[in-house]
Amino acid sequence: MAEGKLLEGQVAVVTGGVRRIGKAIAVSLAKAGAAVVINAKSSREEAEAAAHEIELAGGRAIVHLADVTDEEAVAGLVSAAMGAFGRIDILVNNAAIRREVPFTEMSLSEWREITGIILEAPFLCSREVLPHMVRSGYGRIINIGGVSAHTGAYNRAHVAAAKSGLTGLTRALAVEFAEHGITVNCVAPGKIGGKRSATSGHSVSLPGGGQPLVGHDGVPEDVAEVVRTLCLPTGGFITGQTIHVNGGLFMP
């Protein structure tokens, strides 16, 4: 095993892996030696660019477009990963959209759109991937949560509720699959700076101003480093946890 390539021979599926935190996670796992399946719903150009960046650095990556709120599409994503690499060791449930709307003006369709991608997609992806992990007796699942689930946030009740649900899903899966050598954790980013896409929403508006103690916002790589650490074989004694990456913005 090459120095630093602690994930050599492993395969990771990263949903929403084309920009910001998702892309940083995909690149970090690839640098550690994992072959990466980059998922996006429709952003093929960005996904191909992310895969090309990984390949230029000597890693392996493929792109698979799929709506991870659709059962058949998720089955196709996992089938593509297995067909390309023959195994899945790591699943990072990162895909999300964040919109702002006052609670009393929020429609049921808006509520379901957000909870579908943030909470139901990890259910579908985990359910599809876990049988493969159980057969191999090993696996790492990382759910990407958010600080708003723990502090509350203005105009994001749907996001906060869905991210809170991820905490419960994380704990339940950790309990159910620990005996199979599978760990399940949640990483909850705080305020992460940088350019945002249209579906990322504005920087979250938190009570009390929401300023990190360290005096600045984080960067996607801050989150990716924690995810990479949890995915390592040496991370096997950490499961069922929600790990906050927020510069002291929230301290449980």
Distance CA 89, CA 46 (A): 24
* Domain assignment present for 3: no
What is the predicted pLDDT for the residue at 140? 98
Which residues are CB-contacts of 186 (< 8 A; sequence separation ≥ 6)? 142, 143, 144, 145, 166, 167, 170, 241, 242, 243
Provide the whole-model pTM: 0.94
* Domain assignment present for 5: no
Q: How far from chain centre, in Å, is Cα 112? A: 19
* Domain assignment present for 28: yes
* Domain assignment present for 250: no
* Domain assignment present for 173: yes
What is the predicted pLDDT for the residue at 202? 53
* Domain assignment present for 4: no
What is the predicted pLDDT for the residue at 125? 98
Cα-trace Rg, the chain: 17
Distance CA 44, CA 77 (A): 14
Domain of 194, in residue numbers: 11-245
Whether the Cβ atoms of residue 90 and residue 25 lie closer than 8 Å to each other: no
Q: At 49, which CATH number?
A: 3.40.50.720
Which residues are CB-contacts of 144 (< 8 A; sequence separation ≥ 6)? 21, 92, 93, 94, 96, 166, 186, 187, 188, 189, 223, 227
* Domain assignment present for 165: yes
Q: pLDDT below 70 — which residues of the chain?
A: 1-3, 195-209
What is the number of domains present in the chain? 1
What is the predicted pLDDT for the residue at 205? 63
* Domain assignment present for 6: no
